[in-house]
Structure 1
């Protein structure tokens, strides 16, 4: 968090949190009440003051007020770095220490990174497919279909080759990802928690 945010929190520690205003879509776009945020200054501020609480609810700390974020997929979205030599999260940091890789029932890839869980959007799949193999052989449609047919929680025969690590792919259904990886897709107020009322954004 930036210093001005920490100073504001120290001065006004009990400002009610916002729920239902902010969202992060599957392409890594910030939305406010369903509308994309486009101003670079606002996007940079959100990215620098984005974090998670002890319950796995992700939020933007806007001065003394916390705005919880509804996640379409995961807390971070992966983009290819310039030149295509690696991946970065949507807030701009390069991924250098991925530790696990997952394949959901729709064929989407989720990585556990040093920043938290991060999903690869569908417009980046052309980058990842050539980096998948089975026993050293490039993956074909039948092998991918066999991996997708496995139950959630099982290891596939596929390996994802990244510049930083070679990661075996595990099957993980989308609905089971938040519990396993420790995040909340649709944050809600907890019992006794102060919050400011807001209408839910459009999906």
Structure 2
């Protein structure tokens, strides 16, 4: 976490959390979801549309800042710590999107090294996931061929990918795809 973020947290410790305004898609792109995008539907899954995605963030400095301050809370909800405010992230797939390099190293969409994969998973739609020391992540669609080659050559020492249902991943690997939906359900039950 950036030092400036830690200082802001210390100065303003009780800023309310933000839900629904930031999304991470299947290709590791960040999306800003204004009120109109949120009103158009969920970020991902049933009812999602191009309008509900919002606007793709393209500012390299902002994207790098988000990546350096991206982490999960104790309930597996991923967030970006924006100064004193925690901005929870809506996930289209998994908290990590992996970029496989030609030398078979794996990096996260944030640029962080993922470490050596410990398992490979293939879902019902043929999407490839890797489990690494950072956690579970979807392999970027442009890197599936590199990942398949690394698996075939035994570069990670893994067996064939195990089958998995995509909807089982959050429970199995302890992450929440929609903190906004969870927060809304929690406040409705009070």
Bin of the TM-score, shorter chain as denominator length: 0.7 to 0.9
CA distance in 2, matches of 1:106, 1:119: 12
Residues 131/164 of structure 1: CA separation in 2 closer, same or farther (3 Å cut):
closer
1:87 is aligned to: 106
1:127 is aligned to: 146
Higher helix share: 2
Q: CA deviation at 1:46?
A: 0.2
1:49 is aligned to: 69
Higher alpha-carbon deviation: 124-133 or 2-11: 124-133
Decide which structure has the larger Cα Rg and report it: 1
Q: TM-score, length-normalised on structure 2?
A: 0.79
Structure 1 residues without counterparts, runs of 5 or longer: 134-159, 193-203
Aligned counterpart for 1:59 among listed residues 79, 88, 97: 79
Q: TM-score, length-normalised on structure 1?
A: 0.75
Higher strand share: 1
Structure 2 residues without counterparts, runs of 5 or longer: 34-53
Q: How many residue pairs get matched?
A: 165
Superposed CA RMSD: 2.0
2:11 is aligned to: 11
Q: CA deviation at 1:117?
A: 1.4
After superposition, residues 37-186 of structure 1 pair within 5 angstroms as 37-81=57-101, 83-133=102-152, 161=154, 163-186=155-178
